A and B are shown apart, each in its own frame.
Chain A
Amino acid sequence: MNQTYGIVAVSAAIVATLVIGSTGLRISRTTSDFYVASRTVPPYLNAMAVSGEYLSAASFLGIAGLVAAQGVEMLWFPVGYAAGYLVLLVFVAAPLRRSGAYTLPDFAESRLESKAARRVAGVLVVGVGWLYLLPQLQGAGLTLGLVTGAPRWLGGVLVAAVVTLAVAAGGMRSITFVQAFQYCLKLTALLVPAVFLVIAWHGDPHPARAVDEPPAFRRHTQVTVESTVRVRLDAPLRTVVTGAVDGRAHNGGPLVLQPGVHEIRAGTTFRFPPGAPVPERESGDGRRGGASSWAAPLSGGKDDHPLYTTYGLICATFLGTMGLPHVLVRFYTNPDGRAARRTTVIVLALVGGFYLLPPLYGLLGRLYAPDLLLTGNTDAAVLVLPERLVGGVGGDLLGALIAAGACAAFLSTASGLTLSVAGVLSQDVLPSLGVRHFRPATLPAVAVPVTVSLAAGNLPVANAVGLAFAVAASSFCPLLVLGIWWRGLTAPGAVAGLLAGGGSALTAVALTIAGPLADGWAHTLLAWPAVWSVPLGFLTMILVSLATRDRIPAGTEAVMARLHLPERPAGRGAPATPRSDERMTDRRPAAHRSRP
């Protein structure tokens, strides 16, 4: 990949983000402006912003890489990411907007009239936000390293710095424009190269069969393995090796690898002839790496119990989307509940349209960049494809475009998360004195995940994203669904449910990452906790609420009316006469409500 083009493209994406962010600064004057863009964002713009915020590095690079490495089963990731919005639409979107709260803790407090519920929700928002930021920053380091040759830590720190500047400068109004712009950038960055890639694929005189197994090298290919791997061969393989295989040093001599398992030391370079099958990677514990039966579902690429894993994934993504704090805060920027619904449908279309592309890259990556399957660096598939398939200056330019899109993916999700974490920190942790305290709060909001990602080094990135979804699904999903639809919810019930559901999901994946259990059902259950932790959260919330029936908040009926009755449409039906009882219109101080 041409580094000059890459550096220029990434810099351009960052500069555009900062410029659009700072133009927002001039029109962002009041608290309301700052947090929720004064609730004047029209649905299509808001939907673009939601999509821009939502499509993270995991969507832009990760899905294609997973599909290339592990096959069709991984398509459940984008399906779940999109379907989560349908669940959000039917249960949460409009009532949440009508609740008039800014953040999830605000919702918990106003619905349950309880400071304790607010505090627990706040802690969980910060926890989910940091968990989700961690893989973004790590992925940023990885990609920027690949594109520009910078050391890995620098990429994460750079993205963190840009995000802090952009968020602290303009708040939500500027973020709205930035996110909408970044959705367009991300879509363009995948769509335009995809057109050229498909043309090149069709123009290929010997197009490979799409689902051939195992994949084979198409031309003379040189591969350097960066970390020690074990590979499995089903047939003898002729190759030229410089480095160490099975503990024996080779120095550029030809070698025939016999069928069986071989260990390749880090730094070893192979030269494969055309037509040679790609050796199959084995994970440390002997499970198959996934190159086998790639095109079939439930091929067991990930885990021992693929059916359970698939349902764990479905459960976490379908129900977790509604609990992601950076997604929720965007719904408060809609003018009313009706607009919130329409926004969500547009988001479904935008996100679904985007997700048509990554599987194509995964497919092509398997055909034209099979060496990544050997090095395990499959997340790079999207980035290297233009160079491989198109080549020349055109390939470099398309590669640079993709790099800019990847950069937008990190920036948008990271800035959305930072905004919501900083919002909670400034309102609930630091003394709440308005906008002035929001800016200092962005610093800890970013600094903590940056420190952790620097210290932790190579945390499994996909696990951290899955954890964030699972924790959100088992804590905020019960809180929102029961809080909106069930009058019987009490503050003790909500707190107990948040702690039981979110706490157990957190514990489960903390155990997975720490790794005392390597295999078997216990490991699978802990790695995909949503299947049992979501029902646990719901049950705890319901049972404890039933047990504390005398603590049902006094204002429940009024809150329900506020959540579910439609706002009076402007200019339709009866004239909008000023009413004596606007008691529920706005809970914020009048100074923030009225504009000059």
Chain B
Amino acid sequence: MGVPGTPRREVVTGAPRAPHGPARPARVYAAEPVDSLALRSLMRRQLRLGTTVFALLVGVLGLLPLAFTALPDPRVRPGSALIVWAVLGVAVYPALVVLGRWYVVGAERNERDTVDLERP
């Protein structure tokens, strides 16, 4: 193909690799000298949200072992064992996802509020 010494001509098609460049400024941080007050308020709100979710988790799941000790003996009433299975085996997981989703919505709202504050 072609005369020896002549580089082969190639047609390049397809999207350029631009997305790796400036279009994805994933690591650009708040540029202005940090507004200490806004930062503190954001941190406080995020921490409050985080501890609320954590307290819910601990308050519900953390008390379950104690609550289970109060259940009637399954040898007397077999139904009480089923409650434990249903709660620990199934119900916990959707609850965790819902709690997590709720946190994400709240955390992103807190961040949006701060950004809006910075750029009126």
Contacts and interface: CB of A to CB of B under 8 A. Distances in A.
Contacts of A211: 74, 78, 81-82
A539 interface: no
Nearest to A298: B69
A86 B22 contact: no
A517 to B, nearest CB: 24
A184 B12 CA distance: 36
Contacts of B74: 211, 293, 295-296
A441 interface: no
A189 to B, nearest CB: 19
B27 A585 contact: yes
B119 interface: yes
Given A86-B100, A296-B74, A595-B20, A100 B27 contact: yes
Interface majority SS (helix, strand, loop, mixed), chain B: helix
A314 B27 contact: no
B8 interface: no
B27 A83 contact: no
A565 B30 CA distance: 7
Contacts of B30: 561, 565, 568
B26 A298 contact: no
Interface in A92-150: 94, 98, 100
B88 A75 contact: yes
A462 to B, nearest CB: 18
B12 to A, nearest CB: 15
A297 B27 contact: no
Nearest to A582: B28
Contacts of B20: 38, 40, 595
Contacts of A567: 25-29
Contacts of B53: 86, 90
B13 interface: no
Contacts of A338: 108, 111
Contact of A349 (B28, B80, B92, B97): B97
Contact of A345 (B47, B104, B111): B104
B26 A576 contact: no
A568 B25 contact: yes
Interface string B47-63: 10111011001100110
Listed residue (B22, B29, B97, B112) with the most chain A CB atoms within 10 angstroms of its CB: B29
Given A86-B57, A298-B65, A352-B93, A76 B29 contact: no
A565 B28 contact: no
Given A79-B61, A91-B50, A586 B88 contact: no
Listed residue (B58, B92, B93) with the most chain A CB atoms within 10 angstroms of its CB: B93
A550 interface: no
A561 B80 CA distance: 50
Contacts of B29: 98, 561-562, 565, 567-568, 584-585
Nearest to A572: B115
B26 A336 contact: yes
A144 to B, nearest CB: 29
B65 A297 contact: yes
Contact of B61 (A314, A558, A570, A581): A314
Question: Can you list the 4 inter-chain pairs with the closest CB atoms, starting with the nearest?
Answer: A352-B93, A75-B88, A90-B50, A295-B81
Interface of A: 38-40, 72, 75-76, 79, 82-83, 85-87, 89-91, 94, 98, 100, 211, 213, 293, 295-298, 307, 310-311, 314, 318, 335-336, 338, 341-342, 344-345, 348-349, 352-353, 355-356, 359, 485, 557-558, 560-562, 564-568, 570-571, 573-574, 576, 578-579, 581-582, 584-586, 595
Given A348-B100, A349-B97, A578-B22, 6 more contacts: A90-B49, A98-B29, A310-B65, A352-B93, A558-B34, A568-B25
Interface of B: 17, 20-31, 34, 36, 39, 42-43, 46-47, 49-51, 53-54, 57-58, 61-62, 65-66, 68-69, 71, 73-75, 78, 80-82, 84-85, 88-90, 92-94, 96-97, 99-101, 103-104, 107-108, 111-112, 114-115, 119
9 contacts: A79-B61, A82-B93, A211-B81, A348-B100, A359-B85, A557-B39, A561-B39, A567-B26, A567-B27
